[in-house]
Every structure is written in structure tokens, then in C-alpha cells.
Structure 1
């Protein structure tokens, strides 16, 4: 029987890495300061025969010509292969003013083979309220490439039916922001946590004064702010650069069954358990050692703990020991004997079902 002993000495009260201080602006957002999504429908022209000839493309083409006073007979069906119907979308950043430009993304919605070499014609970009906030137009940059042979063989690199128009959208309407309204501003945490919210409020109160900031819940901290817009900007500029130490994240294990990726938080610990998976047996043990100083020597008698992981790759029975290590040490030990990611996932799921993991197991 081949037996591999992996001795991992873990100091339970040993070195604890210092948490990193973060700026308020890096872990939170100001309520009301957000981008808005815009979308529109348009035509791309000038394609080298890679366009499409469909009913809605012909209808859009006729509608465009009628806008210029050109009316085609209803019985005439133009055969166009250099035009493609596209969906255009963009994000309108906060505080963007009329006349400024934004990038737009253009995607084919029909059977066009490629948008390379095409030009987007004037397209109205609307918000969720139906109002036009920007107008897009311009030559596209397409990173993809497609080629097709006479025998039907085809090679496609990246995605030739999606392109971008840098600075192709001109903003026509400003979205009103509530940033300058009221007597307060609110910081919304990117990762809600009660301890982090309290620490953020305490950091602001230490600078501005007591009761200037109040945590409203696990995600929001409300701060008193001046009404004058220029003073509010300066005030927020100071607050968002304050540094404090966020709370540790909750104990979680993230498992991606499709890619075999496993991420284990540092706060995940094991309860008493013994594991047998196929021919693999893993046991966890902890023993206490008494360190006695020499006679007449200075020092105190202390009790130290030593954790031992025993991994047996042969077919044998599992037996139970007391725990004394974190889960990442168990994973490292299993990897030492070459266990596949699928085996490790199965072990983690079984441990969770047995209540031997004090963290949350999330499978994505």
C-alpha cells in the first residue's frame, strides 16, 4: 500500500496578513451618478457584397430614400447586397453634455456576412423613456474577418458582424442627475456588508465630525453635503479619496463546473470530517504539543498545535480525526497527489452536504 504523508504545520494564532486599505471611490458609487443605456436601429452601407437582401432591409432602404424625396414603385424590389440592417447601442456616461461624443457599437441583426468596410448612416439612439439622447454616424472599425470558398467552405476569425464607431455618437440631450439635489449624498457599496458600511461612516465622521455620516443599511451610507454645486464637488472629491479597511468577505467557495475553476475564501474552515473518493482517502488530524523550557531557564510553558494531513491513494477505509487546518490546505494536499478538479469538486460538494464546511458553496 502506497502511503503519502503530507505534513502541514499550521499556526492557528500565527501570522495574519494585514488587510489592505481601500479608497471610498474604489468600493462604492454615489447614488444617482450612473450611466444610461441607449439603443437604435439603422443601416450600414458601402459593404463589398457582404450585406443582405431581406424584407426589413428593403423596407428600411425605401424609408431612407423617401426621406430624401425619392419614391420607389411598390412593385420594385431592389436587389441590394451592400446594405445591412443593424442594431446600434451605446452607454451614456453621467454628466455628459450635449455636443460631446461617445463610442457606439454596431451589430448586424440580419444575414449580413460582414460589416467590414461599411459606414453607419444617421441613427437615432433612444433611452428607456423613448426620447432621443444621441445621434450616431460614421465609418466602422471591424476586428473580425470572414472568407468563403466556392465549395461552401468558410473561415471566420473573431466576429465580422460587430463593429465600433469611435466617437461616432453625438449627444443631443442631457440626462438630469439628482447629484446636486437635497442635503445629502449617499454612497452605495459595490459589495454590501454591515461592517464595511459602519467603517465607512466612521471614517467620514472622524474627518468631518460626529453624525455627518450614517449607515442606512448594509449597502448605503448617507452623508450630509452642502447644497452649493461647486462646494459639493469639492466636498465629494475629499471624501472619495479617504482610505479605510473594509471588512473581510464572508466564507465562500466558488466552483465553476464548466472550466474546473475553484476559488476558496480565506475564512473557509473545516469541521471534523474524513473523506473517501474512489481510491483516494483524505484524513485530517490535529495534535497538541507541550513546549517545556529547560530547568532554570527563562520562559513559559506553552501549548502548540500541529496539523497533519494524511492522503492515501490506495483502496482503504476512512477514519475520523479532529480538524485543525483551513480548506485551502486540504485542497493543496489533494492536488499534491494529482487529483483532478472534478474529484475536488465532488469532495467539496460532499463536505458541504455533510455540514463539514463553515462557508457557502456557490456553483456557477
Structure 2
């Protein structure tokens, strides 16, 4: 009873005396990307040779058909039955990613290879030259695979525990370039900022447009060049004086600061690892939760409530919603086990008193 009273006093003191957080000014580049800048994924199938008897095996007919076809292309035809002892060959899936900033023809990027038949270990193997493709969707929804690079080279195993996957550093040579088309010139030199999903909201997009307009108001004579068109998109018209140097203009836009960008209220918990992640302003409504030897009351302790006798833990004497972060912080300082905190949060969610997106991993 005395212990509960002490906990009540401690919790109330922690939460009533919480300091005000300082305003955080964040650059737009931290919460936005520019439309037109996206990664391009390349894929292909290839043959790895030089394995120490750890390949797909000579009796793996799909692998041997691939090897037979490769030998035929190199003017050394061989029947599948003649390749029964080829245990040092493996068919692999090849993957690579073009960065969102684009790349020029002739440049090289890394690729990753993974066995998917019978190969147990790719250590010591080399990938024979194999084409990599990217899928393009044409008019009518028809898919067209276009070869854009060649992959080859020695495989490095990054994780010894998983020797069936590896990386080839600078193993892909690009046959064509990928440019980042970040300006829509057909609509009058427009760039579009895309807010990250965790920051997308009507408030955030309108605030981004406001700070951009303020930043360039002197140059544009007060003309608004930015406008929010959705919770996750802001369109900006490149001013005439910047159209000769659009890259510099985009750099200036992305360096503009915004105060306290809105973050979606979200709670992610993992009971197995004992992890609690809270983003945004997660509020909890007045509620009473009893868990094991601890009773938590969010809201005022009314006259005659058991809390006045020391059996309840008041979180704050107010009808207004409280911050979940403060509750978690206070319980942590009182050394309440993380598993118990997670279960309390789960019950807050189930009772509808937790005002945020909730996710368990």
C-alpha cells in the first residue's frame, strides 16, 4: 500500500514537471523526395562456375540445360548427358539496383547473386557474363523486358552463415544510362515534392508549400510558386531566373527548413525483443488499467476513488488527453518490465484509449 502511494507520487511528479521540448527545424530533404527520382531494379539469370563440388549437381537437368546452352553459344556444344559430373556449376538469380540519382552508360554498380536450385555454397565461384533486364510497362499494360547491362565477376560471400548468396562488387556494366527526369517541362517547369509516408498529411503538405513560398518570396516578388495538391504532394514552379540552373534550385528548395514537421502518430511494439517505438504525438484518453500489482489511472482522481488510499497510480490530474511517451518514460524510470509496459499499451489500444496507429511485430 505504501509502495503504491510512493509510485503514485513519483509518476505524478514526473509527468507534471515534464519540460517543454525545443522546436526542431528540419530540412525538407529529410522528409521529402523529388518526383522522378526512383530506383530501378534489374534482374537476370546466370551461371556460376568454379565451385568446389557445391554446385547444383550434374543430375539437376535445368542447370545442365542452362550449361549446355552456354557451351553451345561458346562454340563448344555438349549434350546434357555429357555433363553429369559438372558439380561445380550453379544457376543463380542476379539482382542489381540503379540508384535514384541516375547513372550513365558505362558506369558500374554492384550486383547480388542467389542460388535457387541445389547449390549449397557459392564460395570461390565466378559469374559468367549474363544480361540484366528491367521491366517496362507499355501501352495496354504489356510488359517489355529490356536488356540494360551485363553482369560478371568473382563472388564475395558477405555472410558465412548464408553462403548461398553473395555480392559482386562493380559487377554490372551499364549498357544504357538512366537519367533522373525531375522537372516536368510540359506543364511549365514543375517539380513535385513527395512527402515521406510517415509525414504525409494535409497539414504537412500545406506547411511545406508555405515555407517554400516564404523562402523565395523576395525573388518572385511575392508570387506563390508552391502549392499543396494532396497530403503527400507539393508542386513547385521553377522561377524563370532559376530555369537555367534547375539542379541548384532543387538543392535550395530541399535545404529549406520547416519547424516541427508533422509525424503520423504510430506505436510499434515487439514483445520478443522488448522494443517500443513511438512516433508523433501519441495521446491517451482518461482510463484505468489494472495489471498485476500495478494499477494505472490516466485522468483525475475523483473524491472517494481508491487512488486516494494508495492503491491507484494517477498519471495526471486532468481530463485532457496525455502523451504516451510520458507514460512509457515514467514507467521505465520506475523499472516496470518492458513486457508489462507493452501489455499495458496493448490494452490501451484494445480499449480505444490509444489514439495512434498500432502495430505488433
- TM interval, shorter chain, is 0.7 to 0.9
Report whether the alignment pairs 1:358 with 2:361: no
* Distance in structure 1 (CA, Å) of the matches to 2:238 and 2:29: 16
**Paired residue for 1:70?**
76
* Distance in structure 1 (CA, Å) of the matches to 2:105 and 2:334: 63
Structure 1 136/226 Cα, relative in aligned 2: closer, same or farther at 3 Å? farther
**Paired residue for 2:109?**
102
Q: Aligned match of 2:89 in 80, 83, 102? A: 83
TM-score (norm 1): 0.80
**Paired residue for 1:195?**
203
**Paired residue for 2:140?**
none
**Paired residue for 1:168?**
171
Instruction: Give unpaired runs (5+ residues) of structure 1.
Output: 146-157, 289-307
Shift of 1:180: 4.2
TM-score (norm 2): 0.80
SS in 1 for 2:48: strand
* Distance in structure 1 (CA, Å) of the matches to 2:36 and 2:261: 25
Shift of 1:106: 1.0
**Paired residue for 1:185?**
191
* Distance in structure 1 (CA, Å) of the matches to 2:264 and 2:204: 12
Shift of 1:323: 4.5
Shift of 1:13: 8.9
8 Å Cα contact 1:270/1:323 also seen in 2: no
Structure 1 58/310 Cα, relative in aligned 2: closer, same or farther at 3 Å? farther
Q: How does 1:101-180 map to 2 (within 5 A)?
A: 101-129=108-136, 130-145=145-160, 158-175=161-178, 177-180=180-183
Give the number of the structure whose residues are more often helix, by fraction: 2
- Higher Cα radius of gyration: 1
8 Å Cα contact 2:94/2:111 also seen in 1: yes
Aligned-residue CA RMSD in angstroms? Answer: 3.1
SS in 2 for 1:3: helix
Structure 1 341/65 Cα, relative in aligned 2: closer, same or farther at 3 Å? same
* Distance in structure 2 (CA, Å) of the matches to 1:88 and 1:229: 40
SS in 2 for 1:128: strand
Instruction: Give unpaired runs (5+ residues) of structure 2.
Output: 137-144, 218-222
**Paired residue for 1:222?**
235
Runs of 4+ in 1 over 6 A off after TM superposition: 308-311, 317-321
**Paired residue for 1:151?**
none
Structure 1 359/78 Cα, relative in aligned 2: closer, same or farther at 3 Å? closer
Report whether the alignment pairs 1:27 with 2:34: no
